Each structure stands twice: as structure tokens, then as C-alpha cells.
Structure 1
Amino acid sequence: MMSDSLKTLFYPFETGALDVPGAASSVLFLGAVPGFRLPQGFGADLHCVQGFRPQFNALHLARHKVTPQVQGEGYAMALVLAGRHRGQNELWIAQALEQVIPGGTIIVAGLKENGIASLRKRMAGLIPLVDALPKYHGIVFWLHRPATLEVAEKLRANNPSVVVESRFHTTPGMFSFDRVDAGSRLLVENLPVGISGDIADFCAGWGFLAAHVAERATSINLLDLYEADFEALEAARRNVPQASRFFWQDLTTEPVEQRYDWIVMNPPFHQGRAAEPDIGKRLIEVAAKALKQGGRLLMVANRQLPYEAVLSGAFVSSQEIGGDNRFKLFLARK
């Protein structure tokens, strides 16, 4: 079943407000997510772009052509599925303007609760919009790519890359792209003495935690970073030059082949608006399997999340070693 945002995106084709692209054209789909159904008569070569590994895998499984970054150019049309992050939405529109041929159509849709109305208003202040339609709790609007890329340049200038704490390079759309999140900072401030050997950072983000582990570990044989967000992992390559390997991986479904002495982890606990503690529970189980006998997991979690039982079941011993009113730190031994 298609989500409301996807139904809104394809609504102009359903109503006849836009012609369905034919076989002689190519269409770029930025922010593509699984579950969409193309309108009848859609014959264009569709190129999906999705950097979040679970959704990338689902699109690939559904036999869509999908890459984590844009490939090729000269698209006749671009679809942009807007999300909650303002900066990422604007950068996707800039990308669409750069990749579509002059005069090509760019269609943008999103949910009202995610700020699509304000995105439409901002875009209307930069470039003439052809039309807009409200439907399925969202709004879809479209425009034609002008002869120049002045609007794309403005959008990029409004959403520049960021340097956090004068050393970590990030871009809008990544988790906590403009600051160090409090959980990771707390974990770094409480890194135990004696971390050494083969080490992994699960859910590494743009590399803040791994960089500090690399600096404080007594000795490192291997430092591997695992992250599901492709762009964040690319940033980590720059931010953690001491790392051994980088894995763009969905840890909840794709196996970890290496075995480690230490795993550090600040796991996500939601993918939408509601908390989903089962994500963290699954990652704890994966970490336990990826550790050597006697290996240790160092983990930070939001205080209200119920991880104690799964830690007790997956490890020989586990204990809370610190925290505050928002977060708790666990050290567990396999």
C-alpha cells in the first residue's frame, strides 16, 4: 500500500494535470522510498536515489534501478519526495535542477505535517511554480527547470556544509548534522580506560564517537565503522582518517562478518516520529554476536528505553556505568 506522501507525489499524473512520461525519456527520483506504484502508461527509465540502506535494499529487492547518489544527467523529469529535514529537501531540489534538462519538469511532494507548505512558499519566492495540488494530507507542486542554475546555486548557498567543533564535516540531512548529540558526547566523556584491539563503531554517523575512540584507545588493531546513512558514512571517511574500514550496512538485516574485542554504539531508537525500541534491541543482539568471547559493548541509550532485559539475555554481565536524567550508559561483557 502506498504511503500518503507517495500518493500525493503521483497525484498530478492521476488527475491528468501532468502527462505520464513515455519510454523515450528518463526520470530521476530523489528520496525514493519503497512501496510506490507507477501510474499507468509510465514508460520512462526511472532512476531512484536513496542513501538509507534499509530503503535502498527494499528498492533493489523490488527490482528498481537505485543508487545512493545521483548518477548520470540529462533527465527529462525529476521527482522529489520531501521529508522532515528542510535543508535536505532544498538540496534535493537543487540536485534536481542540476540534473534535469532545461525546460524539464520537477515535481515535489510531501506531507503537511512535515512542512511541505512552507517549502512550497520558499520555492515560489525563488522560481515560478507551474501549479500545486493538495491531496492525501500533503501538497504536490511542480516547476520547470530554467535555462540557468541560479536557483540551485541559491539553494546550495542557503544550506552549506557544516564544520562541527572545528573538525567534523557534515551536511544537512544527516542525524545531528549541526551539533554533537548529547548521547554521543556523554559516551565520549565516559570512555573507559583500556579500549584496544579490534574495535567497531555501530551506527557511526559522521564519525564523532569513532574519532574519539581512535584518539583514546590504548592500542588499535582494527577500527571499523558501520552506518546505514550513505552520506554520513562518506563524511566519516573524511572525519576519521584513522579508521580501517567503512561499511554502508543495515545492521538489523545484513550480517557482520568480523568479530571484535570492543563495540561502541549510540543506536537510533526511531525511524519515524514514534519511538521504536525494537531497533535498539535488535542492534544489541547483533552486537553480541559480533563480539569475541569476553568482548565488551559500550552503549548509550535514552533513559526511558527498556534495554536492560535484552542486555542481560545477550551478555554474561551488563551494568549501567553512568548517565544523567536523559541518557544511561551500559557496559556489557560477552
Structure 2
Amino acid sequence: MMRHLPEWQDQPLNLIAPPGHLQLAALQLGRDFAAPVQVWTADWRMSRLAQQQGLQSFFVSQQAPASLPGRSLVFWPKAKDEGYWWLRQLVAYSLEGFYLLGETQGGVKAAASQLQKAGLEVTKLDSARRCALYYVEADALKGKLPAGQETLALDGPDGLQLCSLPGVFGHGRVDEGSQLLLSALQQNLTELPQQGRCLDLGCGGGLLGAWLLQHNPGLQLIASDVSGFALQATQATLQANGLQGQTWPGDIFNGLEAVCQPGSLDLIVTNPPFHTGKATDYELSERLIRESPRFLKPGGQLWLVANRFLPYPDLLDRAFGSFQRRAETGKFSVYQALREK
């Protein structure tokens, strides 16, 4: 992408769906790019970074651009359903064409092939570092994209109605790790706070927070995620079950300052991510475990489910001094840790 920027300086540029983990030099475009640049993303980290660089930014859970002037560059995400969701949004803007960028092993090659089979003209412009850049003639985009259901409804544990959106973790299913965590919480329900403040960190479709409110209605729920799609799905899940809770964008505890002060939480529940793109990445979970004691009240609890191979026991020991395994399978472990009183 960066080597094509000099030839794009004459028109405004729209960056669509850039992922938050991608620390683009392109986000210095507010200073270096001659024409205006705007960012439209479902990733709160990218939205905040764009704003910090002086770029106009649109976060998908809150708003969409009124127009897409100039050139539009779509970053193909790892979730195919999410990629086609973004392409369907472009229909409303009547673009003559758009650029499509992504990892060749991340689905962009297959997406370009699918668009060609649908009758669109697709031209490969460049490739490097296992990535490829295409240009798609989009004047006939309407009717050429795979049909997609914006929101999926599914039955969850204990009669919960769950809502899911493209790009949300575990889209269209109940994750096995989350099921194990709920089973452990059920078995230890009397040990959980009956009231107070609960944070569902990395809330996804809202399963964990909704389940806790269903069983302990005295809790005050904050559901947070970096994904705008997840926040929308969680809000829909809460509404479908007649439950009340706050949804808030954030990157672990970054961004939660207005709703989550240090020492204010009675309970944190989480099924944290351990991937950045396709690569294993412990940084998010390390930060979550390290910072959790500061945000819990004395005696407050962290409940976490993770793949057994992940090195979380040592992290929990260092952060909390001790922890317990509350459930385990051949694949997952559920950990409970308490802040010392």
C-alpha cells in the first residue's frame, strides 16, 4: 500500500476496515498525505489512533460516513462474513470502484476470485510480503455479493437468546471455552458477588454478561470490547433477554476511564483473545491479568477461561499471588483469582 500512496495524493482517501493491530504508517497521513483522509473501522483502537493523528474517523458501532469521496481502500479481514459485510455497505455509496488489500493466506485472494466469478472486473495491482492489492470495478456491485444475514439469533444456555454479528468472536455459535466458564460459574454460584459491579471484558456477543445478569440480577454490568460489532451484538443480546447493562468500547482497560475506576469492580469475567490476526499473541491477556488487581475491589474476583497451553498460571501467580483452577478439559482451563483483602 505505502508504495502506491504517492500516486494517490491527488484525491481523498478512505481507509475502510483497517484492523487495530496494524500499526500503519498510513495513519501519519493526516500530516503527510496531501488530500483528506478518513477512516471507517469496527476496531476501536484504530478509530482512536486515527483521531489522535488528526484524521476523520467513523466507528462502526456509532456512525458511518455520509460519503466516500475519492479513492476507497478496503482491508480484507480474516473473517469472511465480515469482509462481505463491509462490501455490502459500499453498495449504498455507488462507487465506481475500490481497492482491496489483504493477506493472501487471510482470504483476500479467495475474495477477489469470488468477485470475479460474480461478474465483476478485478485487477491485481501488486503483491508483496504475502499480501495482495486489487482494484475492483464496482459499478455493478449491487446484486453480485453473497447474501448475508446482518444479525444471527441463536439459543444459548439457560434459555438465553443470543445475537451475533459478522466479525464477532464465535459468530453464530456458543464458544466451547465460554461454555466451560459458564459451567464453572454455575457450580460456584454462591461464591460470586450477588450485587456490585461486573465487567465482561472482551464481551463478544454478550453471553457471559447476560448469563450473570440472569442469575445475579443485582449486578451492574459493564460489557466492553474493542470491536464495534461485538458491542452491537451484546446490546442486542441484552435487549432480547430484557436485561440492562452498559456497553463500552475499550482496549482491555484503556478507554474505560469513564465507567471503570481503579478499585471499583467486584467481578471480572473474560474469555480473552490470544490472536493478533493469525498469529498467537499473549500481549492482550498479559495486560489484562497484570492490570486486573488494580481495578478490582479487595476480595474482588477474576474468572478467566483459556486454552490450556497458554502460560497464564505464571501470570496469575505474579499478579494475584495465587489462583485456583475451577474447571478443566483436554483443551481449556478456567482460572479464578482473588484480589487480596
Contact 2:73 2:99 in 1 (8 A): yes
What is the rounded CA distance, in whole Å, between the counterparts of 1:221 and 1:32 in structure 2? 35
Aligned residues: 314
Q: Cα offset for 1:74?
A: 5.2
What is the rounded CA distance, in whole Å, between the counterparts of 2:125 and 2:73 in structure 1? 15
Q: 1:186-243: CA deviations, max 9, x gaps?
A: 00111121322222211111101111111122x5241111111111111101102423
Question: Given residue 102 of structure 2, which amino acid in structure 1 is its aligned partner?
Answer: G
What is the rounded CA distance, in whole Å, between the counterparts of 2:125 and 2:180 in structure 1? 46
Question: Given residue 20 of structure 1, which amino acid in structure 2 is its aligned partner?
Answer: W
Which residue number in structure 2 is paired with residue 236 of structure 1? 234
What is the rounded CA distance, in whole Å, between the counterparts of 1:236 and 1:54 in structure 2? 19
Q: 1:74 to 1:268 in 2, by over 3 A?
A: closer
The answer as to 2:128 corresponding to 1:146 is: no
Which consecutive residues of structure 2, in runs of 5 or more, have no partner in the other structure? none
Map 1:163-178 onto structure 2 (within 5 A). 163-165=153-155, 167-178=161-172
Q: Cα offset for 1:312?
A: 2.1
Question: Secondary structure at 1:75's aligned position in 2?
Answer: coil
The answer as to 2:151 corresponding to 1:161 is: yes
Q: 1:54 to 1:130 in 2, by over 3 A?
A: closer
What is the rounded CA distance, in whole Å, between the counterparts of 2:284 and 2:68 in structure 1? 39
Contact 1:91 1:159 in 2 (8 A): no
Q: 1:180 to 1:287 in 2, by over 3 A?
A: same
Q: Cα offset for 1:97?
A: 2.9
Which residue number in structure 2 is paired with residue 182 of structure 1? 176
Q: Cα offset for 1:48?
A: 0.5
Q: 1:36 to 1:314 in 2, by over 3 A?
A: closer
Map 1:233-312 onto structure 2 (within 5 A). 233-241=231-239, 242-254=243-255, 255=257, 256-257=260-261, 259-312=264-317
Q: Cα offset for 1:268?
A: 1.1
Which residue number in structure 1 is paired with residue 88 of structure 2? 94
Which residue number in structure 2 is paired with residue 53 of structure 1? 44
Quick one: which of 29, 35, 59 aligns to 2:15?
29
Q: Please, what TM-score do these two structures have when normalized by structure 2?
A: 0.83
Q: Cα offset for 1:291?
A: 0.8
Quick one: which of 308, 314, 320 aligns to 2:319?
314
Which consecutive residues of structure 1, in runs of 5 or more, have no partner in the other structure? 1-5
Report the aligned-residue RMSD: 2.6
Contact 1:75 1:100 in 2 (8 A): no
Q: 1:277-327: CA deviations, max 9, x gaps?
A: 232121012221111111111111111111122222322541111111111
What is the rounded CA distance, in whole Å, between the counterparts of 2:232 and 2:286 in structure 1? 26
Question: Secondary structure at 2:302's aligned position in 1?
Answer: strand
What is the rounded CA distance, in whole Å, between the counterparts of 2:131 and 2:152 in structure 1? 30
Q: 1:80-113: CA deviations, max 9, x gaps?
A: 0112221111221222232244xx3211121211
Which residue number in structure 1 is paired with residue 189 of structure 2? 193
Contact 2:120 2:138 in 1 (8 A): no
Question: Given residue 35 of structure 1, which amino acid in structure 2 is its aligned partner?
Answer: L
Question: Given residue 114 of structure 2, which amino acid in structure 1 is its aligned partner?
Answer: R
Q: 1:20 to 1:315 in 2, by over 3 A?
A: closer
The answer as to 2:106 corresponding to 1:108 is: no
